[in-house]
Structure 1
Amino acid sequence: MELGDILRRLKRPLLYLMAPAYVVAGVLHFVVPELYVQIVPPVFPAALALVYLSGLAEIAVGIGLLIPRTRRYAAWGTVALLVAVFPANVYMATHGVVVEGMPGGGDPSGLVRWGRLPLQGVLILWALWYTRPPAETDAR
């Protein structure tokens, strides 16, 4: 089996992994906003409002990805969201942010902090996969 065939077969199941993950992540912005406020770079105003806004955006793209009619728009929205929150990941990595109230302790290792940066690129590529019109053989 060729890589292209494998990817085509995984595209739909991976969508059903990605979309709920964004919804859950978005809901967490409302459940424990104080965790997210801590990683908003201080140059941005209204950290709590930005946390709520990004949480709402994550919920919206997650739901949008599940609806065939809105999937491509939601995938582009996901890319935009990941770009928008990238400064928080950079701030967390470069300033050694200790996230108070985080389960398991609040000091993510340097590996975790810096590992989030290339992970954003992987997540962007994953979202871009769904920006393309579905091929005849792709299941909607």
Structure 2
Amino acid sequence: MAARIAMCIMLCFTAVSHFVFTKGMTMMLPSILPFKTELVYFTGLLEVMLGIGLLIPNWKTYSAWILIVFFVILLPANIYAAIKQVDLQKASYDGYGLSYLWFRIPLQLLFIVWTYLSAVKI
């Protein structure tokens, strides 16, 4: 349960960035996607709802699987943002670039394993 609580807290904190750094978050998405701002807001709400879902016994497994898929889907956005050197906090193109992926990809894998082990496998 502690791992699910920690994941919920992390998701709630990261969801805040969807509302505080919306412009920078929209820059992480390829121009081909429509409704980028709405998508950023939606994914922020989704993070909160799924985080809370991890804490509800009847919903934890469903929430976990949706989160795992969500984390996989986020990876291309993070790769795109790294290639474009997006700094989401400043909403500029002078971020860390590809070196960011050395941190982000293992972190994304950690989130997937963490979610699986704490909410699906148990």
TM-score by length of 1: 0.73
Report sequence identity in percent: 31
Match status 1:53 vs 2:58: no
The aligned runs of 1:1-140 (5 Å cut-off) are 12-99=1-88, 101=90, 107-108=95-96, 110-129=98-117, 130-132=119-121, 134=122
Determine the C-alpha separation between the residues in 1 that align with 2:34 and 2:75. 16
**Whole-Å separation in 1 of the counterparts to 2:16 and 2:97:** 25
Structure possessing the higher radius of gyration over alpha carbons? 1
Q: Which runs of 5+ in 2 are unaligned?
A: none
Correspondence for 1:9: none
Amino acid at match of 1:111: S
- Indicate the structure with greater helix content: 2
Deviation beyond 4 Å, 4+ runs, structure 1: none
Contact residue 27 and residue 59 of structure 1 kept, 8 A: no
- Residues 123 and 25 (structure 1), Cα distance of their counterparts in 2 relative to 1, 3 Å cut: same
Number of residue pairs aligned between Structure 1 and Structure 2: 119
CA distance in 2, matches of 1:85, 1:30: 17
Kept in 2, the 8 Å contact 1:96–1:110? The answer is yes
Separation in 1, partners of 2:90, 2:40: 16
Unaligned runs of 5+ in 1: 1-11, 135-140
1:100 to partner: Cα distance: 5.3
